[in-house]
Amino acid sequence: MSIKIDFNNMMSENIPQGITDAELTKTAAIANKAKAAVDSSRGLNMLGWTELPYNQTAVVKDINEYVKQIEDFCEYFVVLGIGGSALGAVALYNALKHTYYNELPKAKRKHPRFYCIDDADPERLNALFDIIEPQKTVFNVITKSGATSETMSQYLIVSDYLEQKLGANASKHIVATTSENSGNLIKIAKEKGYKTFFIPSSVGGRFSVLSPVGLLPAAAIGIDIAALLNGAKDMDRICQNSDFKNNPALICATLMYLAYQNGANISVMMPYSYGLKTVSDWYCQLWGESLGKAVNRLGEKINVGQTPVKALGVTDQHSQIQLYVEGPSDKVVTFIRVEKFRSEVTIPNGCEAYPDVNFLCGHSLGELTNVEQAATEYALKKAGKMNYTITLNTIDEYNLGSLLYFFQMQTAYIGEFFNINAYNQPGVEEGKNAAYALLGRHGYENKASEISQSGKDIKYIIEI
């Protein structure tokens, strides 16, 4: 493995508002307690994700065999899922495949085109139907409960569409990833004869990227899923280091916890690689939904949670860096830097007459990107803004598996610091119930009447 974490710019030696070495040392006890709590829960309750790098030999084999089976007809692989059932697969796709993968000719692409529909926008689903050919498409319906409104709506539309187009053949164009023994989708799958993959009951959506939720779509487009799991496994071993300054996820959880206590209510994830852009989306769910909690385990009202923000280097230097440098000291910027790009371009000569362009010539784009990362890191430091940098030597399956697992472990640890349940999401219930009521679902009449009594004052509405 080659992963490097530099947190000099979190520390008071470099950042006036930063963390002192004494604070860090003082926090070691809490950090060790957090690690012990995670260690003792491995594989239990909702910590099934810690075992995924170890217990999936048969799953990987099953996935790879299934992918081989559909290879002869599948030209379009479509994920129907939302949140944790979508973001992992999308992150893997963007990080590990060609930027314009879907537009490559078959000979270069080798595997099916990839799509993920993670909302209920009718324009988007209709647009998908415009470009796919049903007889060459596999829809991967992903929902653990089989009761996710958006995904089950998509499922109903898609199964009807396939049955109209393909009749009795429809069932081989749907593969379900769901709970093995509860919920609707497993029952429907059995009735209809769909191929199924299972989400362990101890693995929640935002920790499921290394389960069949992320692995099946990844394998379908030619990603080496065994290598992904190997990277995760090695990171897991490294995170078992009980010296907290040499346990990357534990030290980073500690830094973020201390920064949050010092007023950093925003976590910016800023990779300097276009391929890692949607890793930030995946991180935003992991961090936001795990840590955004009203109460701690003692039932005390704490309304805690750092808001994750995605940014992209160098792009957002021309959008967000002005704010990050000059605005309030309310954020930590996490840079991700890639030492070696998978392909390069050198900037040729051609601007000799223009000194403020000519100095670029002879450098490569990868060099420019990394220099800009270092320069932005330096500018933030000079402005007294906290940041730290994770460096990968390159982007591949192994390193990506490591990186994703690292963030999961960091999240688990920091949840312990706050003494919260990082694995539930009780705050989404109110909105779900309100939606059921507004759709006229039986049993939600009281909620419907509660909503209808919540009037709006027309003086606070402008209509033009």
The dihedrals phi and psi of 175, each to the nearest 5 degrees, come to -130, 130
Q: Which of residues 11-50 bind a second copy (CB under 8 A)?
A: 11, 13
**Per-position x/- string for 81-120, each x denoting binding to a second copy as judged by CB under 8 A, each - no binding:** -xxx-xx----------xxx-xxx---x---------xxx
Q: Which two tokens stand for residue 242?
A: 């009980």
Which one-letter DSSP state was computed for residue 19? B
What minimum distance in Å lies between the beta carbon of 64 and a second copy?
Answer: 26
**Per-position x/- string for 378-417, each x denoting binding to a second copy as judged by CB under 8 A, each - no binding:** xx-xxx----------------------------------
Contact pick of 284, 336, 400, 412 for a second copy (by CB under 8 A): 284
Task: Exactly one of 71, 432, 445, 450 is catalytic; name it.
Answer: 432
In this complex, which beta carbon is closest to a second copy, that of residue 36 or of residue 357? 357
Query: Is residue 149 close enough to count as binding a second copy by CB under 8 A?
Result: yes
Task: Exactly one of 111, 173, 289, 416 is catalytic; name it.
Answer: 289
Indicate the pairing of strand 195-198 with strand 174-178.
parallel
Q: Identify the three-state secondary structure at position 402.
A: helix
Query: Is residue 156 close enough to count as binding a second copy by CB under 8 A?
Result: yes
What minimum distance in Å lies between the beta carbon of 322 and a second copy?
Answer: 4
What minimum distance in Å lies between the beta carbon of 120 and a second copy?
Answer: 5
Residue 97 and residue 113 in contact, taking contact as beta carbons nearer than 8 Å: no
Contact pick of 371, 445, 446, 449 for a second copy (by CB under 8 A): 371
Contact pick of 153, 240, 446, 449 for a second copy (by CB under 8 A): 153
Q: Is 289 a catalytic residue?
A: yes
| Euclidean distance between CA atoms 93 and 103, whole angstroms | 14
What minimum distance in Å lies between the beta carbon of 49 and a second copy?
Answer: 17
Q: Is 442 a catalytic residue?
A: no
Query: Is residue 432 close enough to count as binding a second copy by CB under 8 A?
Result: yes
Q: Could you write out the DSSP letters of every residue in 98-110?
A: -TTGGGS-HHHH-
Could you tell me where the beta strands, DSSP code E, fall in 169-241? 174-178, 195-198
What minimum distance in Å lies between the beta carbon of 220 and a second copy?
Answer: 18
Return the sign of the alpha-carbon dihedral for residues 359, 364, 370, 376: positive
Q: Which of residues 264-283 bind a second copy (CB under 8 A)?
A: 265-266, 272-275, 281
Return the sign of the alpha-carbon dihedral for residues 84, 86, 87, 93: positive
Q: Which of residues 126-145 bind a second copy (CB under 8 A)?
A: 126-128, 130-131
The count of other CB atoms within 10 Å of the CB of residue 190 is 11
What minimum distance in Å lies between the beta carbon of 441 and a second copy?
Answer: 4
| Euclidean distance between CA atoms 407 and 401, whole angstroms | 10
Binding part of the chain for a second copy, among 38-46, 207-215, 217-225, 315-323 by CB under 8 A, reads: 315-323
Query: Is residue 427 close enough to count as binding a second copy by CB under 8 A?
Result: yes
The dihedrals phi and psi of 308, each to the nearest 5 degrees, come to -80, 140
In this complex, which beta carbon is closest to a second copy, that of residue 37 or of residue 379? 379
User: Whose CA is closest to 221, among 129, 97, 118?
Assistant: 97
Q: Is 384 exposed, middle or buried (0-12, 13-18, 19+ CB in 10 A)?
A: middle
Binding part of the chain for a second copy, among 31-39, 121-129, 224-232, 411-419 by CB under 8 A, reads: 121-129
Q: Which two tokens stand for residue 311?
A: 């940014």
Query: Is residue 347 close enough to count as binding a second copy by CB under 8 A?
Result: yes
In this complex, which beta carbon is closest to a second copy, that of residue 59 or of residue 158? 158
| Euclidean distance between CA atoms 310 and 41, whole angstroms | 30
CA angle 160, 164, 165 (to 5 degrees): 120
Return the sign of the alpha-carbon dihedral for residues 79, 85, 87, 93: negative
Q: Which of residues 293-312 bind a second copy (CB under 8 A)?
A: 293-294, 303-305, 307, 309-310, 312
Q: Identify the three-state secondary structure at position 183.
A: coil
Give me the active site residues, please.
289, 318, 432
